[in-house]
Amino acid sequence: MRLEGTLDAFSLPDVFSLLSMTRKTGTLHLRREALHGAIHLREGAVTGARSDVHRQALGRRVVGAGAVDDATLASAVEELVDRPGAGLGKLLVERAGLDRDAAELLAGEQATDAVFDLMRWPDGEFAFVIDEDDPDDVGLALPVDGLVAEARRRLEEWAALTAAVPAPDALVSLSPSPAEPPTLSAEEWQLLGLVDGHRTVADLVEAYGRGDFALVRALAGMVERGLLVVHTPGDGDATGAVVRRQQLLAALEGRPLPVPAAPPAPAAAPVAEAPAVPSVPAQVIPERPEPFTPPRRVEHPEPSPAYARASSPGAPAAGGSVGAVHGSTALQPDAAPAGAPSPVERDPSVNKSLLLRLIAGVRGL
């Protein structure tokens, strides 16, 4: 029979108690929306746990502890890249040569953090799969009662910790003037090396590799001692404020104030070029309308040339008529009589009327 249900009907500690009393071996899967967690048991004891099965939680903890170098990590990742579901943490423990106590300590911290994360779920579904192996089994066996008790103690302390570290997207910066001489543990020194004023709490959890509770508790302790400052992204860090205040003294020292770099202007959309218009030279003298000139009257009209009206050959000239006009004969000028001198050709460009006036003017002189 398969054990399954919802967390609103059976709480996670109740399910743990049932699996522990019946000494079950297998994996308890918990799902909520897109989240998928898993708790591995062997004969009723917890061997490992993950609040997100898609992440190599124990492998990240081993890397965060500085137990492996780059070559060992790269070799292990290359070996497991084609083996989905394989445990990186177990392989790193073997490659790094960690003893059993160190491996169980890291696996125990990881399991406790995962159970604490899963107990914060307000709802979800669970299903237990019998005899499913733990891919990161390094020999750990945690009693269920002690694990649940530690998770409950953390839940009571969590409200006070989140008051000092309010949100996962809050930025963490170094305090430029601590209230007392700093005294740090090895874990706090490791965390301090990750704080740069630009990483959020969630970024530090990712890099620290020790889970939400351990990191938030360390951050809250250092904030209380005045070593760190937690602020929202828009406020700016305390170190930057000190630098800005020092820069304001440049005016008293005869130095120009530093000008902050202006953000780059957004690229303007390309504007289509207008078609080229040919330039028209400006008129210096405005145009005047031409004066009205009436048509000139000809004083001495020239006679039209005489065209022949000859009768057709053989036609009688009755009644004194010149004769009928036939075809192209009407377009021909009258022929000059025989023996008459040929008329002088006149230049058609010469105006006869103008010529007669010139002659009359000469005679008047």
Please say if the pLDDT value at position 245 is more than 50. Answer: yes
Burial code (b: 16+ CB inside 10 Å, e: under 16) for 295-315 equals eeeeeeeeeeeeeeebbeeee
Are residues 127 and 84 part of one domain?
yes
Q: Indicate if 144 and 225 belong to the same structural domain.
A: no
Domain of residue 241 covers 165-248
- Asked whether residue 227 is assigned to any structural domain, the reply reads yes
* Any domain includes 212: yes
Span 236-245, mean pLDDT? 54
Question: Measuring CA to CA, how many Å separate 276 from each of 269, 279, 280?
Answer: 21, 9, 12
Same domain, 51 and 138: yes
Model pLDDT, residue 317:
44
Q: Are residues 16 and 48 in the same domain?
A: yes
What is the reported pLDDT for 66? 83
Asked whether residue 318 is domain-assigned, the answer is no
Question: How far is residue 290's CA from residue 270's CA, in Å, rounded to a whole number?
Answer: 50
What percent of the chain is predicted at pLDDT more than 90? 29
Q: Answer yes or no: is 199 within a domain.
A: yes
Give yes or no for residue 102 having a pLDDT over 80: yes
**Residue 364 within a domain:** no
Q: Give me the pLDDT at residue 358, please.
A: 67
Residue 52 lies in a domain: yes
* Residue 104 CB partners (closer than 8 Å, separation 6+): 138, 139, 140
* Chain segment 252-311, per-residue pLDDT in tens: 666 665 655 555 555 555 555 555 555 555 554 455 555 545 555 555 555 544 434 444
> For residue 35, what is the enclosing H or E element?
strand 35-42
Same domain, 138 and 50: yes
pLDDT tens per residue, range 246-267: 666 666 666 665 655 555 555 5
| Cα 25 to Cα 20, 62, 130, 147, 334, distances in angstroms | 9, 26, 6, 17, 144
Residue 226 makes CB contacts below 8 A (sequence gap 6+) with 175, 177, 178, 179, 180
Could you tell me if 148 and 220 lie in one domain?
A: no
User: 3-state DSSP: the chain helix, strand, coil percent, rounded to 5?
Assistant: 40, 10, 50
* Domain termination residue (choose one: 191, 225, 248): 248
Model confidence at 356: pLDDT above 90: no
**Nearest Cα to 202, choosing from 170, 234, 237?**
170
Nearest to 24 by CA among 45, 6, 50: 45
**Is the pLDDT assigned to residue 14 strictly greater than 70?**
yes
Q: Could you tell me if 111 and 170 lie in one domain?
A: no
21-41 per-position pLDDT tens digit: 999 999 999 999 999 999 999
Residues 108 and 27 in one domain: yes
Mean pLDDT rounded to a whole number for the chain: 76
Domain boundary pick from 89, 122, 156: 156
229 plus 177 within the same structural domain: yes
Number of compact structural domains in the chain: 2
Task: Tell me whether residue 139 is in a domain.
Answer: yes
Same domain, 60 and 92: yes
* 190 vs 107: which has the higher pLDDT: 107
pLDDT at residue 315, rounded to an integer: 44
Residue 146 and residue 82 share a domain: yes
Domain end, chosen from 216, 248, 280, is at 248
pLDDT 10s digits, 108-162: 999 999 999 999 998 999 999 999 999 999 999 999 999 999 999 999 999 888 8
pTM above threshold 0.85:
no
The answer to whether position 135 is within a domain reads yes
Q: Considering all CA atoms of the chain, what is the largest pairwise distance in Å, rounded to the nearest integer?
A: 162
Give yes or no: residues 110 and 174 share one domain: no
